[in-house]
Amino acid sequence: MFVTGEMLLPHQRETIAETFACQVADGYGGRDSGFIAHECPDGNMHLMSDAVIVEILDAEGRPVAAGESGEIVVTDLYSEEAPFIRYATGDIATASARTCSCGRPYPLIERVEGRTNDLVVAPDGRLINSLALIYPVREVAGIEQYRIVQKTVDTFHVELACDGAFDRAAEDRIRGGWQRLLRAPVHVTFEYVPRIPPERGGKFRHVRSEVSAIAAANAAADVSSISVGDHS
């Protein structure tokens, strides 16, 4: 079963595999660039390097090292009439230097982490994968749909569509889990709605941040570069 379009969450992969009794392979691409990466039977994401040139760049436009995350920038090799050259996708991935045991020669990326505004910015400047916020919500019984919006580094708004099994005391569990994750107090508001519609493009995004991940990364880099050894 091949899936694409939205970010594939672990519980979704498990449900699809159990329902159709088959292996699930993730795919990543863009409307303008076509398919960029596919998952092989060994579970690794291969870049389609015969069709696109993929760069993973930091906030300053420099290639990141293996194991580090950056924005995916692609150059299309097939559109001869109007090629996209170094097109910044707005998506974040982790670079890899590994080779795959499946034997396919295409290079790997470790994972696609979502869009830049899917990343959550912690008060200390860390960029956190949105999945880390999802897990405390998924553990609560009775939540059918949810959407998390980061308004500031320490302020979140959560929309919940729930059934009769939900207990509002779970709000404190979610808030506490996020405070441990972010290593700081956070203010969380909850809104209960009948259902949560998808985005305008038809996709459903569980987490959205209104805090600029790139600006936060630059600010953290500026702070770390300040010398404290000489105040003369």
Inside any domain, residue 19: yes
Q: Same domain, yes or no, for 75 and 136?
A: no
CATH code: domain of residue 191: 3.30.300.30
Inside any domain, residue 227: no
What pLDDT sits at residue 157?
96
CATH code: domain of residue 58: 2.30.38.10
Cβ distance 119 to 92 under 8 Å?
A: yes
Inside any domain, residue 229: no
DSSP bridge pairs for 155: 152, 187
Length of the chain: 232
Q: Same domain, yes or no, for 169 and 181?
A: yes
How far is residue 202's CA from residue 31's CA, in Å, rounded to a whole number?
A: 13
What pLDDT sits at residue 214?
52
Q: Same domain, yes or no, for 11 and 90?
A: yes
Inside any domain, residue 232: no
Average pLDDT, the chain: 84
Inside any domain, residue 231: no
What pLDDT sits at residue 145?
92
How far is residue 196's CA from residue 143's CA, in Å, rounded to a whole number?
A: 12
Inside any domain, residue 47: yes
What pLDDT sits at residue 118?
67
How far is residue 220's CA from residue 62's CA, in Å, rounded to a whole number?
A: 17
Q: Same domain, yes or no, for 98 and 143?
A: no
| Among candidate residues 53, 85, 116, the one where a domain is terminated | 116
What pLDDT sits at residue 225?
41
Handedness of CA 120, 158, 9, 86 (dihedral sign): negative
Domain, as residue range, for 206: 120-222
Positions of the chain with pLDDT lower than 50, given as ranges: 219-232
Stated pTM of the model: 0.61
What pLDDT sits at residue 180?
92
Q: Same domain, yes or no, for 106 and 124?
A: no
